Amino acid sequence: MPIAALRIAALLGWLAICAPPQLLARSLGRSAWPQRFLAGVARIAGARVRTVGEPIAGRTLILANHTSWLDIPVLAGATGCAFVSKDELRDHRLMRWLCQENGTVFIDRADRRGIADQTARMLHALQARRPLALFPEGTVSEGTGLLPFRPALLNAFAPAPPGVAIRPVAIDYGGAAAEFGWPQGEPGRRNFLRLIGRRGTVPVTLHLLPPLTRLDDRKALARAAQDAIAAVLLPSGIAPAAV
């Protein structure tokens, strides 16, 4: 049986194991099952994750580079974070449910009139005393270099609200980053099957970098996060963003 089929079967089985206790636990308050589920997804997909740096506490905004859909279970499984996500995922029933169970904040980047509401929802999510992750590149890349970090979503964090830390996190696939990237024109289904069907495992290092200093300018904040992540990924052959 192809590796992709075996791994998809394992993912469905893992979902069947995790869903019932999650449905029970969420009625009693915050549940650890979404983090457990996503950590398992990352492992089933072949990722072997290690973290470097001080653990990330609650009320922290994570700014991370974005290479692959695998970034999401890798990052959430290791840190317990929720995510800021594009509103399009609402159209996929299973994905929407999984995102909602993990506390995802959905935003519509085309709705400029709703920016204030979207900002309020991000700030509210941080009050839940868990990390919230944002991918400032705005999309996945081909895995060979960083894309420019977009400052638009950082309005509420320049300066950061009292008690909220901002930490860059570099997701490092080492020399395999290009294999996990998403080339332009590759359909989503093909990308998923290609990665889930990859033989063997891949070491993934999460570099939990120190908090950024408090900055009043969103462009300066985006640049500081981008520079910090780029410096860590350079030894793996990831080119800094071309700006």
| Predicted confidence (pLDDT) per residue in 41-100, tens digit | 999 999 999 999 999 998 899 999 999 999 999 999 999 999 988 776 666 778 888 888
Q: Residue 131 has what pLDDT?
A: 94
- Cα 194 to Cα 205: distance, rounded to the nearest angstrom: 21
Q: Between β-strands 60-64 and 165-172, what pairing exists: parallel, antiparallel or unpaired?
A: parallel
| Predicted confidence (pLDDT) per residue in 145-165, tens digit | 899 998 887 888 888 888 899
- Residue 227 in contact with residue 73, Cβ under 8 Å? no
Whole-number average pLDDT of the chain: 89
Domain extent listing, the chain: 3-236
Q: DSSP string spanning 102-114? A: TT-EEE-TT-GGG
Q: Residue 25 has what pLDDT?
A: 87
Please state, for a pLDDT cut of 90, what percent of the chain lies above it. 55
Residue 168 belongs to what H/E stretch? Answer: strand 165-172
Residue with tokens 């590796």: 3
Give the pLDDT band (50/70/90) at residue 224: very high
Q: DSSP string spanning 190-226? A: HHHHHHHT-SS-EEEEEEEPPPPPP-S-HHHHHHHHH
Name the 3-class secondary structure at 85: strand
Give the pLDDT band (50/70/90) at residue 127: confident
Q: What share of the chain is helix, strand, coil (3-state, %, to 5)?
A: 50, 15, 35
Architecture of the domain defined by 3-236: 3-Layer(aba) Sandwich (3.40)
Q: Residue 106 has what pLDDT?
A: 84
Average pLDDT over residues 6-33: 90
